[in-house]
Amino acid sequence: MAEEYIFFKVVMLGDSNVGKSTLLSRFTTDEFETESKSTIGIEWLTRYGNIDNKNIKVQFWDTNGRERPLAKHYYNDATVALIVYDITNHTSYKNVEGWLKELREQTTDPNILTVIVGNKSDRGHLRAVSEEEVMSFAVKENVCYGEISTLNENQVREIFMNSIIEAVRRKGHYGIISLNNCIKVNRSG
């Protein structure tokens, strides 16, 4: 008998050169390439795992961020959307609103978990976007927010794992967990 998996699709959104592919690479292979090449079109990869004795299959979809709007099939069956921006590039943050609008227009699932991800937290001294500005926007739009650094691995694993675990919960397979102060903590159930 074939093993059963709970399927999740994670879509990576955001402008070109904000670090979406590097973020995905850091999470899936624990590698950081200083000279990463641009994504051509859309790429995806699949990983299998286990959370609380539940087999999961996670498909990660990555885009170069230049083609907009993205085709509807990119968003089909998405469980998690990570909208990535560069904390040192205010324009990439301002474009988060457009990515969020497109996501909401292309998806009909009210349970999709949306997380705004500020990348390059290791460059805090060059910050062009304040955490307060992003947090205010996240609260207004009812989405989650977190900052990471793919260079020094800060919060990379946490942003993915917490998002996937919350997606498991939203599919009715787990108790409530915490995601960057966005969701109340309660591991029972």
Residue-wise pLDDT tens digits, 69-94? 666 777 888 899 999 999 999 999 99
- Nearest-angstrom CA–CA distance, 107 and 41: 20
Residue pair 13/81 in contact (Cβ under 8 Å)? The answer is yes
CATH of the domain at 25: 3.40.50.300
- pLDDT at residue 2, as a whole number: 65
Percent of the chain topping pLDDT 90? 34
Q: Tell me: the pLDDT tens digits for 88-123?
A: 999 999 999 999 999 999 987 878 899 999 999 999
- pLDDT at residue 185, as a whole number: 28
The values of phi and psi at residue 116, to 5°, are -85, 125
- Nearest-angstrom CA–CA distance, 148 and 40: 24
* Domain that includes residue 116, residue range: 6-156
Whether the CA torsion 135, 137, 141, 146 is positive or negative: it is negative
Residue 179 resides in a domain: no
Dig out the tokens for 94 from the structure: 């301002």
3-state SS class at 144: strand
Residue 60 resides in a domain: yes
Dig out the tokens for 111 from the structure: 């349970």
Tell me how many domains the chain contains: 1
Residue 107 resides in a domain: yes
pTM: 0.82
Dig out the tokens for 87 from the structure: 């904390």
- Nearest-angstrom CA–CA distance, 132 and 50: 35
Residue 184 resides in a domain: no
- Nearest-angstrom CA–CA distance, 147 and 154: 8
Strand ranges in the chain using DSSP code E only, listed in sequence order = 6-13, 42-51, 54-63, 80-86, 113-119, 144-147
Per DSSP bridges, beta strands 42-51 and 54-63 are antiparallel
- pLDDT at residue 64, as a whole number: 66
Residue 115 resides in a domain: yes
